[in-house]
Amino acid sequence: MSIPAPCATFPLGDTRDPRADGARFASPLTRMLLASDGLTTTLLEALAGERLRLHRIAQGRTSADTAGPAVPALLRTDGHATVLVRHSALLRPEGAALSANHVVARAGPDLPADIAACLTGDTVPLGPALSAAGAGHRRTVLDVGRRSWGPRPACYKTYLIWHGNEPLALVHELFHPDLVPPCRPDRSRSPDG
């Protein structure tokens, strides 16, 4: 199972309107996945043609400002507040990784127990877990682009998950290039293509 190493802090690009970036991606499937504010797991399962499973790589807690410079403002929390940091992957049944995820989420006593369980669970991916818990959540896409999956270019999507009117979690999801084509056909070797 080859999964890229996680970033030290929450990665966030320049946060320009990601819908304007769609033309950078040649594949209509890639554009749909990156522009969608729906359940990414559902879209990946539709592309893969099979049910995916969660693999938790690491999980811990840190201060919001240590998690990344944009984290306190985006999660509307104090820089010293504790946040949950989680690295996971979505895998095919035989173990091949299709996405690598970096999640930074609110933590604390004001978070309902069923929502906290979704953020820390190790069997159900976050989106489906929140849906099963009956959480009313929506997503705001913050950034799309390319970075590396090993030696190959891959595309990513960064989004904010809301619980009601409060920001709940930041998610940075990197997609395996075999499933989600990251480049234009004429520039397949360039991560900037």
User: Domains (ranges, CATH) in the chain?
Assistant: 18-182 (3.40.1410.10)
- For the segment 70-89, the average pLDDT, to the nearest whole number, is 94
Has residue 189 got a pLDDT over 50? Answer: no
For residue 186, what are the CA distances in angstroms to 25, 176, 177, 182, 183? 12, 19, 16, 12, 8
Among candidate residues 143, 76, 133, the one with its CA nearest the CA of residue 105: 76
Among candidate residues 143, 159, 156, the one with its CA nearest the CA of residue 182: 156
The mean-pLDDT minimum among 10-14, 114-118, 137-141 falls in 10-14
Q: What pTM does this model have?
A: 0.86
SS3 state at 185? helix
**What are the residues whose beta carbons fall under 8 Å from the beta carbon of 136, sequence distance 6 or more?**
163, 164
Whats the size of the chain, residue-wise?
193
Distance CA 123, CA 139 (A): 22
The mean-pLDDT minimum among 126-135, 159-168, 180-189 falls in 180-189
Distance CA 35, CA 6 (A): 23
- For the segment 135-150, the average pLDDT, to the nearest whole number, is 86
pLDDT at 23: 61
